[in-house]
Amino acid sequence: MVLLSPSINGLTRLLAVCESYAETHGLRYNTKKSELLVFQAPNIKKRLVPSVYLGGVELNRVTEFKYLGHVVTETLVDDLDMERERRALAVSLWVNYTRRAYSALRVQYNNALRIVLGLPRFCSASVTLDNIVG
């Protein structure tokens, strides 16, 4: 469930309605799975947002969350969701690859990495990268 409100005061009232309904029907919200995301308006300085509580527990403020498979961010930028979709597409395209095709791709990747890093033709780009990163 997602609650949307233009103000913290409005959100607090919505939460009170939800808590009242839950109590009447013998239900409880899982505060460990409940989060607060405040959308940031462009070109407006971030303001201090008061704490919001559910069942007497302060909600954890997040900058992003996943809802119905879509990544929602405080800036409403879709970069994270597009990256998730790109990865899913790449995985689905490469489900039935052969060892030979994978090897050719690995060789091409290593060649490109050597060029970018300015490494000699016959050195191992992946080992060199491990040494740089590790």
Alpha-carbon gap, residue 3 to 79, rounded angstroms:
23
- Using only C-alpha atoms, the chain has a radius of gyration, in whole angstroms, of 24
**59-92 confidence digits (pLDDT tens):** 999 999 998 888 899 998 888 888 888 888 777 7
What pTM, to 2 d.p., does this model score? 0.62
Mean pLDDT of the 107-121 span: 82
**16-27 confidence digits (pLDDT tens):** 999 999 999 999
In 16-113, DSSP assigns E strands to 35-37, 53-54, 57-58, 60-62, 64-67, 70-73
Alpha-carbon gap, residue 47 to 82, rounded angstroms:
28
